[in-house]
Structure 1
Amino acid sequence: MMCLLTGSFSQNTWFSYILFLVFLGGMLVLFIYMTSIASNEFFQKSNYIFLIMVSMTIMFLIMAIYLFLDTYISLNNTNESLSFLTMFKMNDKYLLANLYNMPNSIMTIFMVLYLFLTLIVVVIITKSYRGPLRPMN
């Protein structure tokens, strides 16, 4: 979803392609890692982790709706006529500045929140008092 948003917000789509390949590579590494650690074990469901995931999902949805409505209302209040293509047109010298300014800052905020959520999940999975992840026989 982030790759589609990135591709639709900018004129060149190289950033969205690279982002998609990085996400896909990360998912492949996580899949191989989890299959090597616990090949035939069942995972236990935890209500605590489920509660965190549900609350983070609700928070993301509320933020997305709020940011979309805020951008939509501010665009309707301007006196000059702005089209979708002219609003997202990027010049060469302002290419990096447009990535972190409105309305593209929403995409950056979502990527930061996604990385923070994965950091929290990895820290919860790898608790230090349990020792190494893969037990050696």
Structure 2
Amino acid sequence: MNIMIMMIIMLSSMFMWINNPLMMAMIIIMQTILLSMMIGMTLKSFWFSYIIMIIMLSGMLVLFMYMASIASNKKIQMKLSLSMPMFIIMMIITVMKKEVIYTTMKDNQLLMMLNKLFNQPYMMITIMMIVYLLVTMIVVSKIVNINKGPLRTNKYE
């Protein structure tokens, strides 16, 4: 668990210094996989983390395909500044303090139970999120009309 937390922190710190959209998408995909594994280990039930991972990865694959069609094929360059290693070292030192992480996880164990997610107080929020995602999907599909087509034109017709 500690190793996964350190990897998530390192990926988050790398994300701030990357300016290539394809590399950003790859970092977000790696963070999604790590986060779903952590959710599965924390909740002791992996089905919720599988659903979250499938939803996030499907959205990221759509964005990845869109950005791959638009972005130029430049060589990926990472610029290391002095602040990046200092930031990573500070985050690793913070994660090494096991007492802080584990006590907050033990205190919030009742809040992280999966069956509380779909109880009465949270049911309205879940339904509102589902309706919002449905309306957003309909609006996006109406905006991207078949007549307009993709941004990149096919030259070999």
The TM-score bracket by the shorter chain reads 0.3 to 0.5
Q: Scaled by the length of structure 2, what TM-score is found?
A: 0.35
Q: Scaled by the length of structure 1, what TM-score is found?
A: 0.39
